[in-house]
């Protein structure tokens, strides 16, 4: 369970990203965080695995007091929280399987991780993860030779290889075309259902969020303006989240 209590985040340059955020996310939920760019979606997600520090308030994940985590405790916690990025963040000059194996490094002994020797079990875990996202046949190809959608799948497989209980995804489909974006989102949906992993995804596109998530959190200027079931969303609620009428940019499949 993820629990925010009156969390505020102010960056060193004075930008207030989040104000008084309180929310609870139960295990196994598929939550989409929507809002304009700059609304604080990314910050919210990055607080969960302590890529950013909470300024005020408290944040508990599975009973751990996140703002106090440091060093080894923080790294152990991060083993259980996967992260997927908009820009995939793959190591381009190496193979797909090596990219996935990189997620096994923290559990390895220093000598074999320095030399790049991975055990049979780790290789099997990596291949299983690739198989789960349907790109097993690309395992021994260099990562930069894949298409955008395939690269994001490798990133997803890398996250699965660390066997997380929570996956955070920061605009995972923003740089993909509509069809590929749909496929990636259904990968997330499948992983959520089959592996029972909590998924927190922030995105700009309303229609994809409504299609795949079971719960939507709307953020406007650092404040939660909506938190509820996907099915309860109305035009008016979307208007308060976005602070304006929806435009073509907010929807991935324009004809819908």
Partner 1 sequence: MKTLCSKISNYIKTLVKRNYNYRTTIMKDGSSITRPFSYSMMTMVLTLGIIIFFWHLIITKFFNEFGARNFFQNIPNFFTIIKQMVTDVNWSYFSNVLGPMADTIRIAVIGTLVGSLIAIPVAILASQNIMGKSKIPGVVKFFLSIIRTLPLLVYAYIFSYIFGYGPYAGVLATIIFTFGIITKMMYEIIETTDMGPFIAIEATGATKIQAFRAAVVPQIMGRFYSIVLYIFEINLRASAILGFVNAGGIGMIMNDQMALRAYGDVAVMVLGLLFVIIVVQNISQYLRGRLS
Site residues for partner 1 per CB under 8 A = 49, 51, 74-79, 81-83, 85, 87-94, 98, 102-103, 105-106, 113-114, 116, 155, 158-159, 162
Nearer CB in complex with partner 1: 38/116: 116
What is the number of H-type helices and E-type strands within the chain? 9, 10
Least Cβ distance, residue 99 to partner 1 (angstroms): 8
Cβ–Cβ < 8 Å for 251, 238: no
Read off φ and ψ for residue 24, nearest 5 degrees.
-125, 130
Nearer CB in complex with partner 1: 21/83: 83
Nearer CB in complex with partner 1: 88/212: 88
Q: Which two tokens stand for residue 121?
A: 């079990």
Q: Hey, which residues does 195 pair with through a beta bridge? A: none
Least Cβ distance, residue 94 to partner 1 (angstroms): 4
Nearer CB in complex with partner 1: 20/94: 94
Closest CA to 52 of 26, 15, 90: 15
Least Cβ distance, residue 68 to partner 1 (angstroms): 17
Least Cβ distance, residue 151 to partner 1 (angstroms): 11
Nearer CB in complex with partner 1: 22/89: 89
Q: Any residues with CB less than 8 A from the CB of 217 and at least 6 apart, and which?
A: 23, 31, 32, 33, 34, 224, 226, 227
Strand pairing category for 166-170 and 198-203: parallel
Least Cβ distance, residue 106 to partner 1 (angstroms): 4
């Amino acid at each position: 369970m993820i629990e925010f209590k009156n969390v505020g985040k102010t960056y060193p340059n004075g930008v207030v990203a989040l104000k008084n955020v309180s929310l609870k996310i139960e295990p196994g939920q598929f939550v989409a965080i929507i809002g304009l760019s700059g609304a604080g979606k990314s910050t919210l997600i990055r607080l969960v695995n302590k890529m950013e520090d909470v300024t005020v308030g408290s944040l508990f994940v599975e009973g751990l007091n996140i703002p106090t985590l440091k060093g080894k405790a923080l790294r152990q916690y991060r083993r259980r929280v996967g992260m997927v990025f908009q820009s995939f963040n793959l190591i381009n000059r190496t193979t797909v399987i090596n990219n996935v194996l990189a997620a096994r490094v923290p559990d390895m002994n220093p000598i074999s991780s320095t030399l790049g020797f991975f055990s049979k079990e780790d290789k099997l875990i990596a291949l299983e993860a690739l198989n789960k996202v349907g790109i097993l046949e690309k395992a021994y190809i260099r990562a930069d030779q894949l298409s955008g959608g395939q690269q994001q799948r490798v990133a997803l497989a890398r996250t699965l290889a660390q066997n997380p209980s929570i996956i955070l995804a920061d605009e995972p489909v923003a740089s993909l075309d509509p069809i590929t974006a749909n496929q990636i989102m259904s990968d997330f949906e499948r992983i959520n259902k089959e592996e029972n992993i909590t998924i927190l995804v922030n995105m700009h596109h309303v229609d994809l969020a409504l299609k795949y998530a079971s719960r939507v959190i709307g953020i406007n200027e650092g404040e939660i303006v909506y938190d509820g079931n996907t099915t309860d969303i109305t035009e008016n609620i979307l208007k308060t989240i976005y602070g304006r009428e929806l435009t073509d940019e907010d929807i991935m499949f324009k004809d819908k």
